[in-house]
Amino acid sequence: MERVIAGFIADLRVSGIRVSPGESLDAVQALGLCGMSSRKATRQLLRLTLVKNVNDIPVFNEVFNRYFNRFQFIDPGSNLPELMDAAVTEMEGEFNYLNQQQGDDHDQQGPLLKLDSEINPEDLQELKSLTEIDPDDSDGNEIVVQMKGYRGKAKGPRPTRRYTQNPLTIELNKSNATQSGITFTPEEQIAMQDVVARMMLRLRKDMKRMQNNQHRGKLHVIRTIQKNYRHDMVPFQVALRRKRRQKPRLVVLCDVSFSVSHAARFMLLLLHTLHQQMLDVRSFIFNREVAEITEMLANMPLNDLMETIDTGDIIDLDENSSYGQVLLTFKKKYLENLRGRPAFIILGDARNNYGEANDWVLDEIREKSRYMLWLTPEERETWMRGDCLMEIYGSYCDKVEVVKTVEDLSLVVEDLLRDIYADHAHPIDKKRIIEAKAAEVYDSKDYYTRGTSGSTEFQFDPDARSHW
Amino acid sequence: MISEQGVKDLLNTSGYIADDAIATAVFLALHMEKPILIEGPPGVGKTGLAKALSAALDFPLVRLQCYEGIDEGKALYDWEYGKQLLYTQLLRTQLDTYLSVSADLREAVERLSAEESLFFSKNFLVQRPILRSFLSEKRSLLLIDEIDRSDDEFEALLLECLSDFQVSIPELGVIEAKRKPLTILTSNGTRMISDALRRRCLYLYIGYPELEREVAIVRKKFPEICETLARQMVEFLRKARELNLRKPPSVSETLDWAQVLSILTVTQLTPEVVANTVGVIAKHQTDLQKVTELAVQELS
C-alpha cells in the first residue's frame, strides 16, 4: 500500500502540489487508522492529510481520479490479481473499490487523461497545431502593444534591460497570441498574484522596520506609568507616543483605448491584486471620458470588470483617446477631492489624436501630489513622432518609465512604494535609504526627468517640490 | 476508540450536523493527535465545530482569540510581576535574618542568588490559554480562533507548541503537555498562512453545506420550522449566494433567519416576508436590493 501511496504523492508533486515527507507519513498513518472503506472516504482522507491549500483541491481531485483510474483499463476478469500482486501492491485486490465511481460528486468528469493507446490521430493533430504559435517570436517576453504611427514596426521592440527571460512573461505572451478579448485566465491571475507576492516579500522586510520606526515618538508619560505599575513605577518598559499609521496613497489614471489596451489590462490586474494587500488606491480609466473604478475594482470579480469596460458601459471605447480633454475633466471632477498628497501614476501612450494638449492641468495635479509618474509602453525614440505628446507631458512628471512587461511594471511600482514608505520613514532610516539608493548604479537611458542635476533624481522631497 | 460514525453521532447529539469530511478530520485529529486547520468563509460553523466538539466529548474548551499584535505574554505564559514584588516585600524580615548570617556582601549575594529560582518558579507563572490547555489534567480542546489575524511572528511561535505540544520557558525549561489537547485552528483566509504551520496540521476546508445538510441543520436547531419551509428557505438562500453579493448569506444567517421566521410564525415564504426580514440575510445596502429583487423573481 505504501508504494501506491508513494506513487500517488509523486504524481501530486509532478502536478505542482507540495507534499512533504512528514505529510506522506501522516497519510499512511491515517489510512492505517481508518482503513479504506470506500473511494470517497479514501479520497477525503488523503486530501485531509496531503492538501493544505484550497486552491490545490481541484488539482488533487484531478490527480486522484487519474491515478486511481489507471486500474480501470486493465481487464478486470483475468489478470487483475496477478498484475496487482506483481507490480503494484501486496494487498490483493483491495483497490478494486477505488475504481468504482458511484455516488461521487467530484468524479463526474471521469478519467481526465486517456491512456496513450486511446489518443487518436485527430488529437495529435490538435496538439501539433497548438505548438505552432509564433514560431519567430525569439525575444517574445514583451506584452505586445499596438502602436499607432510607430514606423519601426518590423524591428520589434528590444528585450528589456532587466529580467530578460522569465517564465511568467512568456506565459503572458502566449495568451496574448491566442486571445482577443480582455479577460484573464486563472493562470494569469495566479501568475500575477505570484509576481505581487514576490514583490511583497521583497518589500516586507524594509517596510516592517519602517513601520516600527513610525511608532517612535515622544514619551507617553501616562501610558508609561500605567505600564510600569507592576514594577513599582520604575520605568522598565517605556511607552512612546505613536505616530499615525499611514497607508501609502496612490491615484492611477489608466488609458484603456485600443492602442494601449494590453498594458492597461495588466496595470488593472496589478492594481486589483495590490488593492487587496496594502494600498489606498483610487483608480480611474479614461479614453475620451474619465471614470472612477475604485469601488468596482475592490468589489467586482476582475473578469466581470474587464467585460464591463470592454462593452463600453463605463466609458465609450469607440472614441479616440484625448488626453487634453481627459485632463480637463479630471481637474473639474476629481482634483478638488484628492487628499493626502497621493502619488500619481498615469499609464498611457500620450497619443492625443492632435487635440488640445492642456498640459497646464498637469502642473496643478503636480502641486497636489507628492510624486508623479508616467508609464508609457513606447520607446523613447517615438515620443515626438506623430501625435505623441510624451515630451510635453513628460516634462511635468517626476519620472517617465518605459514599461513593457509585467515584471517591469511590478518593479516600477515596487520602486514607487519603496519611495513612498521611505518618505514616511523615520529620519534615520530615511537617510540610510537615500544613501543606499545613491550608491546604486543607475542606468539612466530609460527614463526622463526634468531635474537638471543627476543626483536629485532618485530622492524626492515633497517640501522642496512645492516651491519648485 | 471512537469510530468516524461515532464522531458524527456525537456531534449530532450536541447539535452539530457534520458531513463525512468533517467527521473524518475530527476522527483523525483525535487519534493522530494532530491539530486541524479549518478554513472557509465566515459563518459556516468553524468555531461552532470546536464548541460542539468540546460539549460532545466533554473536553474543557480553552479559547485563544487571535488579533494583530498578540504575543507570547498573551498566548503562552507570563510572569506575575506584582506577586513577585509583593512576596519580596512580605518576606523582607525573613530575608534579613537569612542574609544576616553571611559575613560580607559577597557571601550575601551568593546566598541570595542561590534562592533566585524561587522567584521564577511555577508559583509566579501566569498560565495563558495554550499553556493552560497543556497543563490541564483532563484532555482539553484548544481553539485558536482566527489565526489569520495574528502576525507572522506569532505564527512562528505556535510552531513549537503545535508540533511537539510543549512550551519552552527560558527560566524553567521545557514544559510538556500532560494530555495533548485536541487543537483546532480556524482561519478566514484574510492572510496566507505559512506552509510551515499548514504542514503541521490536518487541513479541512468547510464551504457552504449541501442542500440536504443545510436543511437538516435548520431542522435540528429549530424543530418548529416545518420541512417544506426549511427547504424553501435554504433553496432561496442558495440562489442568493450565487448573486455575487458583497457578503453572501452564510449558515449563521440561515439560522438567524430561521429564528426570525419561527418568531413571526411564518409558514410560507412570500416576497413580502422576504422584504420584511431581508435585514437578517443581507448586510449591505446594495445586497438588500438584490435579495429583494430575487425574492420577487423567485417566489411570486
For the four alpha carbons of A252, A253, A259 and A265, in that order, the dihedral sign comes to positive
Query: Residue A424: what pLDDT?
Result: 61
User: Hey, what amino acid is at A259?
Assistant: S
Mean pLDDT of A356-369: 83
pLDDT of A210-263, one tens digit each?
556 555 667 888 888 888 887 777 888 888 776 655 566 778 888 887 777 777
pLDDT of A16-30, one tens digit each?
888 888 889 889 888
B28 and A23: CB-CB below 8 Å? no
d(CA B192, CA B172): 34
d(CA A458, CA A373): 13
A52 and B195: CB-CB below 8 Å? yes
Name the phi and psi angles at B39, rounded to 5: -120, 160
Which one is predicted more confidently, A311 or B138?
Answer: B138
Contact A299/B at CB under 8 A: yes
CB-based contacts of B94, cutoff 8 Å, min separation 6: none
**From the CA of A276, how many Å to the nearest CA of chain B?**
9
Least confident interval from A331-345, A443-457, B224-238: A443-457
Decide: helix, strand or coil at residue A393.
Answer: helix
Q: Which residue has the cell 543626483?
A: A455
pLDDT of B70-119, one tens digit each?
888 889 998 888 888 888 888 888 888 888 888 888 888 888 888 877 88
Mean pLDDT for chain A overall: 67
Contact B155/A at CB under 8 A: no
pLDDT for A123 beyond 50: no
Rounded to two decimals, the pTM is 0.57
Decide: helix, strand or coil at residue A304.
Answer: helix
d(CA A449, CA B143): 56
Measure the CA angle with vertex B243, ends B240 and B245; round to 5°: 95
Q: At what angle do helices A261-277 and A186-214 cross, to 10 degrees?
A: 50
**HSE-CB of A137 using CA atoms within 13 angstroms:** 18
Helix or strand holding residue A323 (H, E): helix A323-333
d(CA A449, CA A466): 17
Contact B93/A at CB under 8 A: no
pLDDT for A162 beyond 60: no
Measure the CA angle with vertex A354, ends A350 and A358; round to 5°: 65
d(CA A80, CA A71): 9
CB-based contacts of A201, cutoff 8 Å, min separation 6: none
Helix or strand holding residue B157 (H, E): helix B152-164
DSSP A467: T
Measure the CA angle with vertex A23, ends A21 and A26; round to 5°: 115
Query: Residue A127: what pLDDT?
Result: 43
Q: At what angle do helices A21-34 and A39-50 cross, to 10 degrees?
A: 150
What residues of chain B, 216 to 275, have a C-beta less than 8 Å from chain A? 244, 246
Query: Residue A210: what pLDDT?
Result: 59
Cell numbers standing for residue A43: 479520497
| Listed residue (B299, B253, B255, B258) closest to B280, CA to CA | B253
- Residue in chain B nearest A298 by alpha carbon: B246
CB-based contacts of B43, cutoff 8 Å, min separation 6: B250, B251, B252, B253
Which one is predicted more confidently, A41 or A166?
Answer: A41
pLDDT of A77-116, one tens digit each?
545 555 455 544 444 444 444 554 444 444 444 333 333 3
pLDDT for A207 beyond 70: no
Q: Count of H helices and E strands in chain A?
A: 19, 7
